Amino acid sequence: MKTKECPSCAMEIPKNAEECPICNYEFPVQPKSHAWIIWLVLIAFVLMLFGGIARFL
């Protein structure tokens, strides 16, 4: 089983634990990364921008 170290008490606890059972330290919730969606929207915006500018040149 994979474990992680509690930053508060240094105990090894299960990696999927949301709270340390020893000192009750609450691990911050990590949001799932949606970076690929942001990049896709950014690329689409840039392509639309350059497509609009190309008509005026």
For residue 56, the model assigns a pLDDT of 65
Q: Which residue has the tokens 């949606």?
A: 34
What pLDDT band is residue 54 in, cutting at 50, 70 and 90? low
pTM for this model (two decimals): 0.49
Mean pLDDT of 37-50: 88
Range(s) of the domain holding residue 51? 3-56
- Of all residues in the chain, the percent with pLDDT exceeding 70 is 88
Q: Is 11 exposed, middle or buried (0-12, 13-18, 19+ CB in 10 A)?
A: middle
Q: What pLDDT does residue 17 have? A: 93
Number of domains in the chain: 1
